[in-house]
Amino acid sequence: MEKVLSDTISTRKLLLIAGTGWLFDAMDVGLLSFILAALKIDWSLLPSELGLISSVNSIGMAVGAFVFGLYADKKGRKSAFIITLLLFSIASGLSAFAWGLGSLLVLRFFIGMGLGGELPVASTLVSESVAPNVRGRIVVLLESFWAVGWIFAALIAYFLIPISFIGWRGALIICALPALYTLYLRYSIPDSIKYSELTEVEKNESMYSKLATLWQKPYRKSTIMLWIVWFCVVFSYYGMFLWLPSVMMLKGFDLVQSFGYILIMTLAQLPGYFSVAWLIERVGRKWVLAIYLLGTLVSACLFGLSETANSLLLFGALLSFFNLGAWGAMYAYTPEQYISNIRATGVGLAAAIGRLGGIFGPLLVGYLVAANIDIAVIFMIFAIAIFIAILAILFLGKETKQQPIV
């Protein structure tokens, strides 16, 4: 039997190991937003084609979240974590050699599968492995590695992509490095105690039985709430953030200027995460998530209306602060809704529903930009989606602060 989390590994070490995998995921997603801006120039792609690349990535993430959520409840969180990290890193390295839109779309699907599977599995593993009084804070800090990955992506984009012999292909090769990290993970990370305590009958329970349990009375309201929140948050996040460099260019800034501004905006994600990590064990998951989504709503509206460099930078930074802080709270909140034998399935399925939103968000922006719809109107649509998520949390959500998970 695999060793489980005990005195053999500290919470800090687990956070660092899982967080590094999370960082690599974020670096890939972050680079995609910059690569889209570069591909628009190199391959003369239309806005609708750029949106298609983002959406295929999200289709893969939806499939990966669902499939590997089920796999993690059957075979273990550690095994799923390693497989998904390996899948996305290899596919990312191969995508550096894509010769056209079609080949890139195929590889982005497999990258998405790895990304979509790894994120809910990692949050489930960490959530099950730490004490209730610090669980929310630790999962938010895990999510904060996403900001570090985006910062690395922004640095690579700003300093390396403009260099002709490196470009976007060289940036994608860098994303293949996590394949080596999986060798370290294989021997360094244990599975969670909660998973090890499951009986063979619980582990081998059928997919249909697990899915049916999500809709039984104890979990029905939580499942509905999570599906709404995940769909709306991911829809707005990928619609807004994957298009940020392109939006900056539409507002009159060149490629290098846009990358520089996005780097500064990305730095604002870190205080967003850290503030949520401090608040979540004091105020609670439900209200912190609702408040930070409200901040996201207001910031999105103001960013869409901005025209000057200073206002774009200010409201873009606030958008990063509140939206990524909300992501941290959402990842802490989601695993706490379910019991151990369906937890990864429940988290994975909520994430999969969210990725459906990630399909439509970038596609919608691509078509609206092609139709010359004003950026302010586009960002108002995303603000409305965030408002719906807030309502779902307020009316359907329950507080899970420091409650033991079973």
CA–CA dist 186, 79 (Å, integer): 8
Q: Is the pLDDT of residue 255 over 70?
A: no
Give the pLDDT of residue 225. 98
Give the pLDDT of residue 31. 83
CA–CA dist 32, 138 (Å, integer): 27
More confident residue, 261 or 167: 167
Here the tokens at position 162 are 């403009």
What residues contact 354, with CB distance under 8 A and at least 6 apart? 62, 65, 230, 231, 233, 234, 235
CA–CA dist 303, 301 (Å, integer): 6
Mean pLDDT calculated for residue range 176-201: 79
Mean pLDDT calculated for residue range 161-184: 79
Give the pLDDT of residue 236. 95
Q: Is the pLDDT of residue 254 over 70?
A: no
Label residue 261 exposed, middle or buried (CB < 10 Å: 0-12, 13-18, 19+).
buried
Percentage of the chain lying above the pLDDT 90 cut: 47
- Return the closest-CA partner of residue 350 out of 74, 121, 87: 121
Residue 70's Cβ-side half-sphere holds a number of Cα atoms within 13 Å equal to 15
Model confidence at 8, pLDDT cuts 50, 70, 90, reads very low
CA–CA dist 162, 179 (Å, integer): 26
More confident residue, 36 or 74: 74
pTM to 2 decimals?
A: 0.88
- Return the closest-CA partner of residue 324 out of 234, 225, 222: 234
- The residue with tokens 């429940």 is 346
Each domain of the chain, given as residue ranges in start order, spans 11-186+210-396
Q: Tell me which of 8-12, 54-58, 155-159 is least confident.
A: 8-12
Mean pLDDT calculated for residue range 205-220: 93
Q: According to CATH, what is the number of the domain 11-186+210-396?
A: 1.20.1250.20
Model confidence at 257, pLDDT cuts 50, 70, 90, reads low
Give the pLDDT of residue 33. 74
pLDDT in tens, 318-339: 999 999 999 999 999 999 999 9
CA–CA dist 369, 6 (Å, integer): 52
Residues listed for the chain:
406
Mean pLDDT calculated for residue range 7-33: 80
What residues contact 205, with CB distance under 8 A and at least 6 apart? 73, 341
Please list the helix, strand and coil fractions of the chain in percent, rounded to the nearest 5, in that order. 80, 0, 20
Q: Residue 289: enclosing H or E segment and its boundaries?
A: helix 285-305
CA–CA dist 90, 81 (Å, integer): 15
Q: Let me know: does 104 contact 92? Beta carbons within 8 Å.
A: no
CA–CA dist 187, 179 (Å, integer): 14
CA–CA dist 284, 270 (Å, integer): 20
What residues contact 212, with CB distance under 8 A and at least 6 apart? none
Percentage of the chain lying above the pLDDT 70 cut: 94
Q: Which residues on adjacent β-strands are paired with residue 254?
A: none
Model confidence at 187, pLDDT cuts 50, 70, 90, reads low
Give the pLDDT of residue 256. 56
Under DSSP, the state recorded for 164 is T
Q: What are phi and psi of 205, to 5 degrees?
A: -60, 140
Give the pLDDT of residue 260. 72
Between helices 217-241 and 285-305, what is the axis angle to 10°?
30
Q: Let me know: does 285 contact 332? Beta carbons within 8 Å.
A: yes
Q: Let me know: does 221 contact 394? Beta carbons within 8 Å.
A: no
Model confidence at 193, pLDDT cuts 50, 70, 90, reads confident
